[in-house]
Chain A
Amino acid sequence: MNCEVCQLKELEVEHFEIREVLRCILHTIMFHRALGLVRPKDVDLQLFDITYVQCGDVELEKKIDEKIDQFLCWVEKHPNKKSQICLSFYEVKNNKAMWFSNRVERLYWEHWYINFNVVQHPKAHSSKSHHSKVVDPGENSSGGESARRTTLEASLQDVLFQIIRFVNDKKDHIPSIPSREGISFPYDITIPSSSDTTFGMDMIKRMLQTGHPTMLS
């Protein structure tokens, strides 16, 4: 089976924008891959003039939010870094011999890479200021800030259209729709971690510097 890969355009975001942007992107992808019966739910972004669609599935929403929280933690510890979140879809193949051990084989058929360049606000000196930024994002809303925001909005819109185009162009690799429980194909969301090859070096360095023993996964 083909495994299609979609690299989404990199978005330059500030910390306080990550949650919303990530939600928007992840839910949009999921909406195209949760091919069970869904009752769509429109969500207007707070920071941008964009409306995206959720599947209206509570479990899915919860899982996405959890992953976003983890990613935010990672970003806290790795400010000013490029980062990548991967949303992957797979099929489960039960290995009959290993059935009792509950071992399953995942056949990935699609990867979506969401690329962020997390930038720090000019006025923010340390990661501690993140919270204040969240609280008061409009504090520094000069012309430059609003221009940046407009640019990001346009970029986010581009990414959404990129998703749509990809969904339209690549249909043949999608397995047949699962009729079992769950509205979506099996999926997982991976965020940067020590095991991630892309970020492995950064993280090792980081760990050496800060002495942090673990990374979030």
Chain B
Amino acid sequence: MTMALSHGNVHSDTAKKEQIITEFFAKSLHIILESRSPFVSSRNYSGEQLASSPSSSSSSSSSCRPRDKWFNLALQECPAALENIDFWRQSNLEPMVVDVILIQQPINSELTYFSSKRDLFKHPSLKERPPNYLNLEQEDFGLEKRNEKVIERWVVQYESQKSKGNSSGSKRSSGNLHTLYKKSILLLRSLYVTVRLLPAYKLFRDLISSGQIKTYTLAHRLNSFAEPFTRREEADIQRFGFTPVDSSCGRLCVSVSYFNLLSDVGSETSTPISPHFILDYVGSPLADPLKSFPSLPVSQSSPLYSPFLRRHSWSFDAYRASLPSKFPSPSPTYSDSHASISKSRSQHPSPMSLPHHLPETFQAVTKNRGFDEYWPSPAFSPSTSLSPPTYIPSSDPCKALLRSESAPLSVPPAKPLNTLGFTKKQCLPPSPPIKTTRPGSVKTDKNAGTSSSAAEKFSLGRDESGRLSGVRISSNSSPRISISGSSSRLSIQDDFDDSEFACPFVVDEDDMIDRGGRPESFDQKSHQNESFEAGGLAPVRKSPDAAVGALVLMLNKAPPLRQDFTGSIASKTECSSNTIQASSLTAEGPRTTSSITSSGLLMSKTTSDALEELRGYREMKDLLLKQGSRSHMLDRSAADD
């Protein structure tokens, strides 16, 4: 201290020293976050950068930013660190506590985390710094269930030494800025190596490098104080303190407390690549638009999708390249390359802004059902009951697609649309294409000639889709599908749309007989595929008579109908005059079953019974209309029961 004072340039030295210290904080934070925060990491492209600028000091001048030259350590761009350190500069020389947080989540709760995490951790304003800032936000988001654990705590601080006499041991070097700088370099080098040796780095590495979507992630929290660990935690904590760097009036200290028992976390919580994941992940941008507009008719929605479909049928790179404008950073795995993008996304906390959340669902959702619980989108809410079953099965046929590399077949999306327009068959929900299940179910309702409520539709749709999932899987095994599977999602959608032509009415009687013993819906479904395999577009060739014959045949062999269920549907599907409606609750049941084939499985009566009943009720109806007498009508209804 006295040495410094003896110099004339005390102020400049002090300023330099403070700058070194400030930059030391910044660099430390940068080093830590770069290897802990999966959303800012650039670990993946360090190779490229090295190739382009092999970092010898001579070549570095062109590629090096001024920041890189500090401490002779050129780091990757790390927006989060820069952002955070800006706050830091304003609260100079306060301790900097960086908590690395492991967030484990139940399999379907990841969305919660993703939708809120960024808001929580991206703006740790040190200026305002309400003590429980983060916790409060969590509660606001209803995230108490989230399983968070601080697994590492880095403390960077500058301990000023008030009593100057104490630092006798380090006096020799303390006044020397060069020494301070050199030792800071050394400390940062060892910090850089150490962050990669600690257990948390393995989690981070797994998080960003594997093709897996994890049920955990890492976040960070920056503060100027350390919330104490619990005593139980303390027992498991290990500490590593870097040797402080002395300066003229204080010392730079870096230390880390960490849990050493993390090795099992990664293996336990990681979820291996499964078709479902890939589907969700890649297909979601596809699927999500539909999800958000559950009531969109297929005819309207498919043109919207076609671009997405193509996009997704290509490789991840193509996906990444094409996506960012609308769907930034699809997953944590790939987010490194989109650091800036993910950052920008993180600045849009609004849970309603679908585009921002779509990608997050892919990265986050390990189970599709997580969707419903965490999607605040109002557009989505009406379909909550429907989506889980529809969504999962619909994704199955796409498994193969996701792995396919070939370019998509150029199947005009308009084709399915047109066909949809005039297919008035009661065929099964055409759902196989990724998200068309929902529209399909709606259409089925229409076929039933009803103006049923949305809720009714959805419940219906769920039944259908649930049942159809098996069918769809089997359809995957058909050669036709497998071929299309290797081509593209688009082509598959086309296949399935085409298959809608092949509804029961148009199927050859031979085929029908073959399948006579099976439940209707399965019959129809398999017919869709088969008829399509046989050359598709069967409906055009079939005569209406043949179709009717086939239907009758099928109905005769159909499984029993369940009376009560048909009744409930009938009440909605009734399209005849209102005077009859009261008495025809059950009467409409048969009609429903004959038209809504998909509900057949639930019926306890056979459809032939139902047809007979229907006939009877028709007669009754006629009678009633003729007589028009209220008393007569009541009598009839009583008799019916």
Contacts and interface: CB of A to CB of B under 8 A. Distances in A.
A164 B54 contact: no
Interface stretch (A138-146, A168-176, A198-206): A168-176
A176 B182 contact: yes
Contacts of A32: 186, 189-190, 193
Contacts of A42: 43, 46, 196
Contacts of B69: 37
Interface residues of A, number: 38
Given A37-B68, A167-B186, A51 B205 contact: yes
Contacts, number: 110
Given A58-B54, A169-B243, A35 B60 contact: no
A39 B196 contact: no
B409 interface: no
Given A39-B53, A168-B187, A51 B196 contact: yes
B46 A167 contact: no
A57 B193 contact: no
A41 B50 contact: yes
A169 B196 CA distance: 20
Interface in A177-197: 177, 181-183
A179 to B, nearest CB: 9
Contact of A49 (B58, B173, B187, B202): B202
B374 interface: no
A123 B57 CA distance: 48
Nearest to B254: A168
A168 B183 CA distance: 9
Contacts of B197: 50-51, 157, 160-161, 164
Nearest to B205: A51
A72 interface: no
B73 interface: yes
Contacts of A53: 192-193, 196
Contact of A35 (B46, B56, B182): B182
Interface in A116-144: none
Contacts of B192: 31, 40, 53
A207 B72 CA distance: 47
A177 B192 CA distance: 19
A57 B55 contact: yes
A57 B196 contact: no
Interface in B38-79: 43, 46-47, 49-50, 53-58, 60, 64, 68-69, 72-75
Interface of B: 43, 46-47, 49-50, 53-58, 60, 64, 68-69, 72-75, 172-173, 178, 182-183, 185-187, 189-190, 192-194, 196-197, 201-202, 205, 240, 242-243
21 contacts: A35-B185, A35-B186, A37-B57, A37-B68, A37-B73, A38-B73, A39-B54, A39-B60, A39-B74, A40-B74, A40-B192, A51-B197, A55-B55, A157-B197, A160-B193, A161-B240, A163-B193, A168-B242, A172-B173, A174-B186, A182-B57
> Nearest 9 CB-CB pairs, A to B?
A39-B55, A168-B243, A56-B55, A39-B74, A37-B72, A51-B196, A164-B190, A37-B57, A36-B57
Given A176-B182, A177-B182, A182-B57, 14 more contacts: A32-B186, A32-B190, A32-B193, A37-B60, A37-B74, A39-B53, A39-B68, A44-B205, A51-B205, A57-B56, A58-B56, A157-B197, A167-B186, A174-B186
